């Protein structure tokens, strides 16, 4: 009996295993059929190839060569090389030439435009243009880094200063890089004198007078500190000029007068006079030069200053404009500084300020131009009615337009300043109202205050200036029948003061001002726009509070 049961159990297990294997086989066949059907009906995955656009590289290169590099070039007058090699890719298609790549890189640097700015002309894509620019800059850096891309040494600075002093006759050029010290024939007319106007628009201080470079100042600091010229030495130079002992130069003026001088003194004092003397002819061991355009007395005062750095006050007052022109023309910075100082200290009037302004722009005196411009802006109505203004308007309408624009801008700034002052007064009043409100609710003031405080009476003077007005506002608020935020105007103002105090209060649980905690809860339900508005008001009132405290601290 037991053997029959075991055989039956084995038969059942074998049949179950066969059933499981059959089900698994059917499932695998169904899955294989589904995969085969999906593969047969599926859309093949696209294979993208790199698309080629015919950018006409050859035509762009030919156009560039015809425009710039041919013998009969369209734009420049120079003749460049006509033989160059093109690079070809694996298919034999010519690539971009060296001229195209260098032109693209240089134009990107010159015009500071996007990489595809010159694509239409040079037929070069954005990626290639950026890569070309990087390689071009890397090559320039590698080639010229050792010689030019470094900080200048003391020898380099000295060589540049000597070059400017010899060629351009302007020593100390490195100390005033941003200034143009002589007129340039190609200088744009619209930008003339813009530096002086920029000073006024930026409300900056007048520029310092031109000085030597920091390197020269450091090297000569010890010598300048120990330099002392006694009166006897100046008298010797005055006597040498007045007597003309051993003079080898004759200076001719417009009225035919002759001023005797010495070549060595003039050459050291002025590089321009040195060049004139070197170009002049020697006759009877004497060189002759001419200084035209100014009176003889002005020329004499100019030469005297070159000898002894001395001048007469009356002569300076009379010929200060002539001496300013001479100091600029013959590059004598010390005399130029004296002339500017004289003009700035009481010489300017409403009648001559326009003429001095034009002269200062021509003589490269930015500080003097700034002083004149400030005077014109301050008294524009009177100065614009003078004869000098009328002449300037006919001769230089561009300057008139610049001056009028400066006056308009200064008036706008003045109005803006007045507006800010009025706003500041309002914020100070709000701060005083907050202080008075806290004083009334905490300590009491005269006839109004908390119930648990003994009032001082109306005869006692209060130290808070806003108490009187706030007391009347509180009494109106307590007795008004329409004390809703949108009702009475006075009640609305009181609601705003209470809310402002609540936003500025840091201890609402122990605050004596009514409705302080109520407004703290109300703030959580306000819109973002209202929240930003109140935060800005609190910040400005707090700033006025800090300013008042700082002012009180400085007074004591």
Domains, the chain, ranges and CATH?
Answer: 57-138 (no CATH), 231-332 (3.30.710.10), 420-555 (1.20.1020.10)
User: Do residues 465 and 429 touch, judged by C-beta distance below 8 A?
Assistant: no
Q: Collect all residues with Cβ–Cβ distance below 8 Å to 257 and sequence separation of at least 6.
A: 296
List the single range of 21-25, 120-124, 354-358, 364-368 with lowest mean pLDDT.
Answer: 21-25
User: Do residues 117 and 111 touch, judged by C-beta distance below 8 A?
Assistant: yes
More confident residue, 463 or 85: 463
Task: For residue 273, give the nearest of 303, 236, 317, 305 by alpha carbon.
Answer: 303
| pLDDT value for 239 | 78
User: Do residues 289 and 252 touch, judged by C-beta distance below 8 A?
Assistant: yes
| pLDDT value for 201 | 43
For the chain, what percent of residues have pLDDT higher than 90? Answer: 0
C-alpha–C-alpha distance, residues 269 and 336, integer Å: 13
SS3 state at 352: coil
| pLDDT value for 217 | 43
Q: What would the mean pLDDT of 44-61 be, rounded to a whole number?
A: 64
462 Rama class: left (phi>0) / alpha (psi -120 to 50) / beta: beta
User: Across the chain, what does the average pLDDT equal?
Assistant: 72
C-alpha–C-alpha distance, residues 356 and 206, integer Å: 16
Residues 78-114 have pLDDT tens digits of: 444 433 444 555 566 667 788 888 888 888 888 877 7
Which residues on neighbouring strands pair with residue 282, listed in sequence order? 287
pLDDT for residue 448 is more than 80: no
| pLDDT value for 199 | 42
SS3 state at 283: strand
Counted residue by residue, the chain has a size of 556
Q: Is 0.75 topped by the overall pTM?
A: no
| pLDDT value for 453 | 62
User: Do residues 94 and 86 touch, judged by C-beta distance below 8 A?
Assistant: yes
CA distances for 58 relative to 55, 71, 88, 502, 541, angstroms: 9, 19, 11, 77, 70
More confident residue, 247 or 189: 247
Residues 330-385 have pLDDT tens digits of: 888 888 888 888 888 878 888 888 888 888 888 888 888 888 888 888 888 788 78
Q: What would the mean pLDDT of 55-71 be, rounded to a whole number?
A: 75
Place of tokens 């390689």: 135
Residues 464-500 have pLDDT tens digits of: 777 777 777 777 777 776 655 556 777 777 777 777 7
Q: How confident is the model at residue 208 (pLDDT cuts 50, 70, 90)?
A: very low
Task: For residue 271, give the nearest of 306, 308, 242 by alpha carbon.
Answer: 306
List the single range of 46-50, 137-141, 550-554 with lowest mean pLDDT.
Answer: 46-50
Encoded tokens for 252: 């001719």
Q: Cβ atoms within 10 A of the Cβ of 321, count?
A: 19
Task: For residue 100, give the nearest of 79, 86, 83 by alpha carbon.
Answer: 86
Per-residue three-class SS string for 11-70? HHHHHHHHHHHHHHHHHHHHHHHHHHHHHHHCCCCCCCCCCCCCCCHHHHHHHHHHHHHC
| pLDDT value for 15 | 67
Q: How confident is the model at residue 463 (pLDDT cuts 50, 70, 90)?
A: low
User: Do residues 246 and 256 touch, judged by C-beta distance below 8 A?
Assistant: no
User: Do residues 441 and 514 touch, judged by C-beta distance below 8 A?
Assistant: yes
Encoded tokens for 208: 């310092």
Edge-to-edge strands of the sheet including 282-283?
258-261, 249-252, 286-290, 282-283
| pLDDT value for 276 | 86
Q: How confident is the model at residue 449 (pLDDT cuts 50, 70, 90)?
A: low
| pLDDT value for 166 | 66
List the single range of 127-131, 195-199, 312-316 with lowest mean pLDDT.
Answer: 195-199
| pLDDT value for 167 | 63
List the single range of 40-49, 99-108, 137-146, 520-529 with lowest mean pLDDT.
Answer: 40-49
More confident residue, 365 or 152: 365
Residues 404-421 have pLDDT tens digits of: 888 888 778 888 888 888
| pLDDT value for 380 | 80
List the single range of 12-16, 21-25, 84-88, 388-392 with lowest mean pLDDT.
Answer: 84-88
pLDDT for residue 123 is more than 50: yes
pLDDT for residue 222 is more than 80: no
| pLDDT value for 206 | 45
pLDDT for residue 461 is more than 70: no
| pLDDT value for 402 | 81
Helix crossing, 489-504 with 528-555: angle to 10°?
70
SS3 state at 175: helix
* Positive or negative torsion for Cα 256, 260, 263, 268: negative
SS3 state at 364: coil
CA distances for 23 relative to 10, 26, 144, 164, angstroms: 20, 5, 81, 102
């Amino acid at each position: 009996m037991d053997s029959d049961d075991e055989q039956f159990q084995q038969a059942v297990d074998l049949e179950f295993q066969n059933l499981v294997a059959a089900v698994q086989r059917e499932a695998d066949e169904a899955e294989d059929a589904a995969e085969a059907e999906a593969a047969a009906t599926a859309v093949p995955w696209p294979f993208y190839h790199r698309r080629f656009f015919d950018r006409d590289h050859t035509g762009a290169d030919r156009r560039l060569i015809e425009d710039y590099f041919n013998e009969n070039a369209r734009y420049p007058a120079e003749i460049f090389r006509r033989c160059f090699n093109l690079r070809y890719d694996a298919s034999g298609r010519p690539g971009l030439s060296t001229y195209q790549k260098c032109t693209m890189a240089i134009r990107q640097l010159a015009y500071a435009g996007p990489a595809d700015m010159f694509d239409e002309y040079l037929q070069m894509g954005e990626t290639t243009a950026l890569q070309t620019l990087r390689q071009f800059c890397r090559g320039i850096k590698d080639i010229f880094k050792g010689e030019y891309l470094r900080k200048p040494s003391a020898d380099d600075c000295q060589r540049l200063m000597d070059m400017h002093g010899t060629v351009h006759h302007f020593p100390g050029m490195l100390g005033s890089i941003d200034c143009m010290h002589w007129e340039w024939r190609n200088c744009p007319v619209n930008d003339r004198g813009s530096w002086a106007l920029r000073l006024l628009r930026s409300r900056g201080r007048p520029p310092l007078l031109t000085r030597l470079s920091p390197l020269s100042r450091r090297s000569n600091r010890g010598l300048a500190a120990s330099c002392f010229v006694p009166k006897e030495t100046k008298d010797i130079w005055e006597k040498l000029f007045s007597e003309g002992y051993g003079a080898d130069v004759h200076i001719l003026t417009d009225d035919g007068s002759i001023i005797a001088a010495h070549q060595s003194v003039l050459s050291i004092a002025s590089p321009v006079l040195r060049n004139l003397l070197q170009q002049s002819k020697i006759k009877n061991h004497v060189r002759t030069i001419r200084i035209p355009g100014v009176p003889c007395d002005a020329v004499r005062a100019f030469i005297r200053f070159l000898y002894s750095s001395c001048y007469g006050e009356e002569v300076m007052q009379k010929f200060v404009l002539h001496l300013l022109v001479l100091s600029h023309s013959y590059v004598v910075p010390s005399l130029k500084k004296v002339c500017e100082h004289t003009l700035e200290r009481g010489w300017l009037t409403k009648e001559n300020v326009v003429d001095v302004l034009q002269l200062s722009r021509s003589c490269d005196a930015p500080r003097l131009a700034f002083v004149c411009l400030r005077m014109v802006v301050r008294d524009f109505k009177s100065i614009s009615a003078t004869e000098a203004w009328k002449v300037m308007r006919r001769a230089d309408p561009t300057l008139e337009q610049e001056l009028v624009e400066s006056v308009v801008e200064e008036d706008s700034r003045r109005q803006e300043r007045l507006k800010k002052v009025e706003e500041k007064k309002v914020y100070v009043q709000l701060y005083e109202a907050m202080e008075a409100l806290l004083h009334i609710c905490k300590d009491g003031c005269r006839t109004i205050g908390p119930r648990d405080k003994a009032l001082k009476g109306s005869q006692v003077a209060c130290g808070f200036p806003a108490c009187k007005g706030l007391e009347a506002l509180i009494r109106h608020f307590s007795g008004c029948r329409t004390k809703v935020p949108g009702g009475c105007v006075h009640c609305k103002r009181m609601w705003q003061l209470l809310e402002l105090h609540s936003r500025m209060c840091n201890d609402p649980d122990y605050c004596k001002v009514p409705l302080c905690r109520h407004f703290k809860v109300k703030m959580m339900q306000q819109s973002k726009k209202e929240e930003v508005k109140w935060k800005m008001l609190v910040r400005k009132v707090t700033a006025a509070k800090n300013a008042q405290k700082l002012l009180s601290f400085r007074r004591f």
